Amino acid sequence: MNTTDGAPLTAEEIRNWLLEEDEARLETLWRMADATRHQHVGDQVHLRGLVEVSNYCVRACRYCGVNAERAEVTRYRMGRDEILACARRAAEMGFGTVVMQAGEDYGLSGTFIADVIREIKKIGDMAVTLSLGERPDADTLLWKEAGANRYLLRFETSDPELYRKIHPDRGGLVSDRIAHLRRLRAMGYEIGGGVMVGIPGQSVETLVNDILLFRELDLDMIGVGPYIPHPATPLADPERFPPLPGGRQVLATETMVCKVLSLARLMCPEANLPSTTALATINRESGRAHGLVRGANIVMPNLTPPQYRVLYEIYPAKAGIHETAEIGIEKIRKQLADLGRIPGMGHGSRQRR
Ligand code: 5AD
C-alpha cells in the first residue's frame, strides 16, 4: 500500500484499517502516518496557546458539558484585558498562534472580538485562530477584516441524521457546519474541521465517510478526539442514545482515535493535526505522545486562567484542568524533547505545495 506518494486511500482501504486489530499491521499504519507527517509538515510541533474565553453557549449539543440547557453550570466570560494578558503570555512563551475558543456566546459581540483580535495583533507576530461556534457571516467577516487567520468548527460527524440527533438546530435555522466551513474558506480563513470518535450511533462506515470528507473539504486543520461521555448530558444516557447493536458501534478507544488520526494524515498530508487534550485525557500517561508519533504535528497548551479553566468542562476529568499554564507547557516541552521533535517557529500555517 502507498505510504508517502500522495495517492489517496480508497474507502475500502480506509475501512479495512479501521477494522484492523493486528498489532503488527497497525504498527505499519502508525509508521506510514509518521513518515507522511515527517515528509509533508516536518519535525516541528507548533504550539497554539488556547484561551477558553467564555463558557456561555446558546446551543444544546447533546454531548457537551457546557450546553445551554445545563442551568447548574457557573458561567464566565473573560474581559478584554484578561484575554490580552493571556495573549501576552503566549507571545512570551514564543507561541505562533493564539486560539480564542468559547461556546456560541452572543455576549461576545462581533465588535468586541474584532477589537480583541486587533489588540492581539499589536502584541506580536502571532496568528489568531477562532473557535466561537456557528456565528453569522457578518461576524466572521468582521473578524477576518480585523486580522483573524483561522477558524475551527468541527463537523462532529458526516452522518446528517446522527448529527441532527446530537446537535439540535436552533432558532428555526438548520445547522450545517459543512456549508459553514465552506463559507469560512471563501472568506479567506484557513479552516479546521474534525470529529469525535465513539459517538453512540457511529459506525465504521460513518468514520470512513468522515475521513473522505476531511479530504474533500481540503481541511487545513483536523481535530480528532475520543467522545468522552459527560454524565450530566443526554448523550451519556444509553436509554436515549443507545449504541449500535451487533458489535457495529465504534468504541472511543485510544487505538481507534489513533487510527482516524493516522488515516487523516495519509489522506490530508499537509494538514495541521493536533494531538488533542481529549486523547491525552483517555491515556494520561502517553496519549499525547502517541498522537504525535501517529500523525499529529500540533499541540494546544491551555492558557486559560485556572479559575475559568475548571468551568470549561465540556467533558469530565479533562487532562490538565487543575494545572497552571507553566506546568502544562513544561510537560509538553519535555515530551517533545523525548520524542526528538522541536517546538515550531513562526505561525505554523498550512503550507500548500
Ligand atoms: N467528549 C469529547 N469531545 C467533546 N467535545 C464536546 N463535547 C465533548 C465530549 N463530551 C468536542 C467537540 C467540539 C469540541 C470543542 O469539543 O468535538 O467541537
- Confidence band, pLDDT 50/70/90 cuts, at residue 176: very high
Would you say the CB of residue 41 lies under 6 angstroms from ligand 1?
no
Q: Is the CB of 59 under 6 A from ligand 1?
A: no
- To the nearest whole number, what is the mean pLDDT of the chain? 96
230 Cβ below 6 A of ligand 1: yes
Q: How confident is the model at residue 5 (pLDDT cuts 50, 70, 90)?
A: low
Round to whole Å and give the CA distance between 137 and 120. 22
pLDDT for the residue 7: 77
> Ligand 1 test: best mutation among 63, 132, 153, 228, most atoms within 8 Å of CB?
63
d(CA 39, CA 4): 8
CA atoms of 250 and 227, how far apart (whole Å)? 10
Rounded CA separation 122/145 (Å): 15
**Among candidate residues 102, 31, 37, 90, the one with its CA nearest the CA of residue 275:** 37
Ligand 1 contacts CB of residue 153 (under 6 A): no
pLDDT, tens digit, 9 for 90 and up, residues 112-137: 999 999 999 999 999 999 999 999 99
Q: Whose CA is nearest to atom 13 of ligand 1?
A: 154
128/96 Cα distance (integer angstroms): 9
| 312 in contact with ligand 1, CB cutoff 6 A | no
pLDDT tier, 83 (very low <50, low <70, confident <90, very high otherwise): very high
H-run or E-run covering 100? strand 97-102
C-alpha 59/C-alpha 82 separation (Å) is 25
**Ligand 1: nearest atom to the Cα of 235:** 10
Cell numbers linked to 64: 457537551
